[in-house]
Structure 1
Amino acid sequence: MEPSPQLSAVLFDLDGTLLDTAPDMIATLDQLLVEESHQPIDYEYGRAHVSNGALGLIDIAFGELEEAHRLSLRDRYLKLYENHLATLTTSFAGMDAVLEHLEQTNIQWGIVTNKPGYLTEPLLETLGLLSRCACVVSGDTLPERKPHPRPLLYAAELIGLEPASAMYVGDASRDIEAGRAAGMTTVAATYGFIMPDDDPGAWRADHYVDNPVDLINLVERYA
């Protein structure tokens, strides 16, 4: 895809793209498993599924459950996680340099995530990112969630730009699907939480990056 029009903003997915939230999310899952008299999950196996959110983690940890029990465990998980949002979570290595580059070149950046706002905003605040980003669209900001394009289009509205001048970076097929439908340049973050049986090459992203710092060169191509 040719770099046109000029890039005005970069939007990021949160879990597995901007932040490595896996350590806290898997630690919380292990805490719940122990409460329920189960063994902790293999970390790398759990990490690959973090982008699927709380219910996805419940499913791989507990297997098939009656829906009421499944939702009850999800709610308990979220209560536990709320108390450990940023104990071990950090930006991915190199991401701080990416954000600094965007800010130094006057390219706005924001976040579009399926994570609910009551978890997203305190996490960003604790890490000193909330005041720096141009917008935050969480999973409960709108009735629609990714892969629907509406959250990305709403982010563009909040910043005040045309979707075609924005880039969306994510580590799941739903991110690329949403970005394509919104008319944005799409970037697959293959350094993120990719499940073993997933094939990012099938997502049809415009670009692929194996390391966050690769985004700097990519952004410069569109500047």
Structure 2
Amino acid sequence: MIRAVLFDFDGTLADTAPDLGHALNRQRINRGLSSLPIDLIRTEASSGARGLLGLGLQIKPGDSGYEELYDEFLNFYEEQLCKDTVLFPGVGELLDEIESRNLLWGIVTNKARRFTDPLLEQLGLASRTSCVICGGDTANFKPHPEPLLTALNILNVTPAECIYLGDDIRDVESSLAAGIEPIVAMYGYLGDCGVAPESWGAEHLIKHPQDLLRHL
């Protein structure tokens, strides 16, 4: 019996790509480059600053100047953290139904707490979630199972009593390693890992947030 639902954040609960895109495009414009369309930015949004900087400025960790651009991106993002970020359509209704069934729900994300906590406050979720595990809260990041296992301990549920919804192959890998059933949010960013979501290893893929209710 399912007692808890865990969610990834970016690309699963919230569409954060517009504000991530604002930060990246601000960097590009400052360097005489044109803005990238948000639909293109969405393809790398789940990869965080590293993926976005690779997309927008063709720079990767270890390259000269990367750390400066990385810090600049995060500072720009923090300045307009929740300007255009919204919950995906149907997420609010999904969470209402989960709570009406007296199920626990939480968030496990690689996003730093510096950004996650203010976003949850502004989106009205901070007081509702039973646990939030952010990047840096544990020694390992997803796809390692440690963040999900930490959430299970906080919620006091077993892997068999939980499902995890995410939009990235790392979410599926982390979930499987933790013994939790993964479900892929096909409405999310999905990334560009070179492997189709149908081959990530999850048995179930959903096209709309409320489709998750069939698995509770």
What's the TM-score bracket when you normalise by the shorter of the two chains?
A: over 0.9
Q: Provide the residue aligned with 2:49 in structure 1.
A: 54
Aligned residues: 214
Structure 2 residue aligned with 1:32: 27
Among 117, 126, 131, the alignment partner of 1:130 is 126
The Cα shift of 1:52 comes to 0.4
* 1:1-223 matched pairs, under 5 angstroms: 6-64=1-59, 67-195=63-191, 197-219=194-216
How far apart in 2 are the matches of 1:91 and 1:43? 16
Q: After superposition, what is the alpha-carbon deviation per residue over 1:50-84, rounded to whole angstroms, capped at 9, x for unaligned?
A: 00001110001111466241221111010011111
Task: Please report how far the alpha carbon of residue 30 of structure 1 lies from its aligned counterpart in structure 2 after TM superposition.
Answer: 0.8
TM-score by length of 1: 0.92
Consecutive unaligned residues in structure 2, runs of 5 or more: none
TM-score, normalization: structure 2?
0.95
Which stretches in structure 1 are left out of the alignment for 5+ residues? 1-5
The percent of aligned pairs where both chains have the same amino acid is 38
> Could you say if the C-alpha distance between residues 79 and 64 of structure 1 is closer, same or farther in structure 2, counting changes exceeding 3 Å?
closer
The alignment's C-alpha RMSD in Å is 1.2
Q: How far off its partner does 1:198 sit?
A: 4.1
- Aligned letter for 2:18? P
Aligned residue type for 1:50 = A
C-alpha offsets along residues 71-121 of structure 1, whole Å, 9 cap, x if unaligned? 211110100111111111111000101100000000110000000011111
Q: Which residue of 2 aligns with 1:3?
A: none
Report deviation, 1:42.
Answer: 2.5
Aligned structure 1 segments of 4 or more residues deviating by more than 3 angstroms: 195-198
